[in-house]
Amino acid sequence: MQAVIELDDDQIESILVEGLKKNYEIHLKTYEDNEHHVHEAFQIMLAYFMTDKEFRKYSHQLAKVQKKYLGAKK
């Protein structure tokens, strides 16, 4: 049996942004020096699909988490 779910553009963007965020955070935990282009690509995609305010807030929160994670690693 197949089910069809109709989503409007806002719902699709929301799903896309959440998926990008999760994958970006996974990438940051396994980040290699030669993968800087992947890091930039995630930032570009997130900035495109989020408002400026949402992207700045997310980046700021992520920087705090990343600093804590990297600090605990050392």
The pLDDT profile of the chain, 74 residues, written as one tens digit per residue, is 999 999 999 999 999 999 999 999 988 888 777 888 998 999 999 999 999 999 999 999 988 777 655 554 44
| CA angle (41, 42, 46) in 5-degree steps | 120
Would you state the pLDDT for residue 74? 44
Residue identified by tokens 């929301």 is 14
Closest CA relative to residue 42, chosen from 57, 68, 22: 22
Both tokens of residue 46? 């997130």
